Amino acid sequence: MKTFQPLGVLPQLQDALLKKGIKEPTPIQAQAIPPIFKGHDVIAKAQTGTGKTLAFLLPIIQRIHIDLHQEQALIIAPTRELVRQLADEAKYIGDILGVDVLPLTGGRTIEGQLQQLGRRPQVILGTPGRLLDHAERGSLHLDTVRRVVLDEADQMLHMGFLPDVETLIDRTDANRQLLLFSATIPDRIRALAKSYMKKPMSVTVKGEHVTLDTIDQRVYMMDAKDKLPRLIEMIREDNPYLAIVFCNTRESAIRLSYELTAAGFTIGEMHGDMTQGRRTQVLREFARARTQILVATDIAARGIDIEGISHIYNYEVPHDVDYYIHRIGRTGRAGTTGVAVTFASPDEEIWLRRIERAIEATLTKYTKDGQIKTKGSKQAPKKVTTSKKTTITSTYQATKAKAHKARGHKGSNTRQRRTGSSGGRRGRR
């Protein structure tokens, strides 16, 4: 069995991983950790759920000089939820080695963060906006940062954060090590890498749609006016343990939340137009199955990694293939199975075809009444992989250019009226 020892991970960190049930490195960890330890810039292309977080946290935190009380590593992520998850992992590892870790996001008071920054923490994690705010105030010292990580770089591109990210990178040490982790590498991300990286190593995990093999994907074709009654009917029939209903915009999510509440469901609502405290509370209630249906947008839900999500409902077809994959990837995780249902109206078929081309498969399509309209096809055999058979390509090359819980679950009945409501300020989605 492969272990973390040959990768250079300290014994005490290996013991800590064993306590969490992590015995051997995933392919992305096995390929990315050695060059990161050697100080190389790295471009890593890997989907969520492949273990990429530990791939950069282990070597980054292990190389911190604990005797120097100054900012040494900067980890940038697009959403508060993702930063919070990264910070939990970083603090778990950092506490073992005596490394001071501090997350910085919006939704928290500036005054409290200013006080925390006064102790000069060694690892800083945050969203671009709040990091830049502190950098301009002079409370965050980036000139001592020698290692920078961009996590979910493609998402930061979609959210319009790249200018802020570039400003932050420019303020770090000129001899910095830059690590870029992304599910896809669009042209603007390649341009960023070319501008800021020195002979980067490229690590690519093939079979990036591996999680799709464990997900039953279905498409129901219908007029837009039929979506709501069909969704309500389907939720009642499926009685999911945990389910996420995705919308393309915050306006759609707010409207759908109201309609589902009026239909008698207990739901959670999550989008950019909410306070951080409210979003945290919604996620906590959902993770504990106190709320079993979550209505969310893509940007708000990107960082969700919760066990027991049995069903995904795409109330609207996403206009971005990556969003589709990240949406349905919330279920069928870690070898479990899940169901992903997409409701598509005639004017959304163009986006549906783009998704099918990207995943190299024809999705089974049904009428709104459940009759098979088009029988789906499996992915080509050469594309079908499992997490244990994931292959790696371009390693060290410089770049040029749970099965869902059974029907007899113990969660609360989904057909209950919600007692609270979401509030907050304006956001992107």
Q: Is the pLDDT of residue 227 over 90?
A: yes
Give residue limits of the domains in the chain: 5-205, 210-374
Provide the sign of the torsion angle of the four alpha carbons 9, 13, 16, 20, taken in this order. Answer: negative
Average of per-residue pLDDT values in the chain: 83
State the pLDDT at residue 178: 97
Q: How confident is the model at residue 217 (pLDDT cuts 50, 70, 90)?
A: very high
């999550």: which residue's tokens?
A: 270
Q: Judging by DSSP bridges, how do beta strands 372-374 and 364-367 pair with one another?
A: antiparallel
Distance set, CA 111 to CA 101, 115, 278 (Å)? 18, 6, 20
- For residue 366, what are the β-bridge partners? 220, 372
Which H/E stretch holds residue 229? Answer: helix 227-238
Contact indicator for 241, 289 with CB cutoff of 8 Å = yes
Residue 83 near residue 125 (C-beta atoms within 8 A): yes
Compute the average pLDDT of residues 269-278. Answer: 80
pTM above 0.75, yes or no: no
What pLDDT is recorded for position 322?
72
β-bridge mates for residue 270, sequence order: 296
- Which of 173-177, 267-271, 412-416 is predicted most confidently? 173-177
Whether residue 141 has pLDDT greater than 90: yes
CB under 8 Å to 357, separation ≥6 — which residues? none
- Annotation: CATH topology of 5-205: Rossmann fold (3.40.50)
Cα–Cα distance, 365 to 202 (Å, whole number): 38
- Looking at the chain, the number of H-run helices and the number of E-run strands are 15, 16
Ranges assigned E (strand) in 281-369: 293-297, 309-314, 338-344, 364-367
Name the pLDDT band for 335 (thresholds 50, 70, 90).
low
Split at pLDDT 50, 70, 90, the class of 46 is confident
Domains 5-205 and 210-374 share a fold: yes
CA-nearest of 319, 149, 163, 329 to 249 is 319
Check residue 334 and give its pLDDT.
64
Query: What is the CATH architecture assignment of 210-374?
Result: 3-Layer(aba) Sandwich (3.40)
Confidence of residue 417 (pLDDT cuts 50, 70, 90): very low
pLDDT tens for 149-174 read: 999 888 788 778 999 999 999 999 99
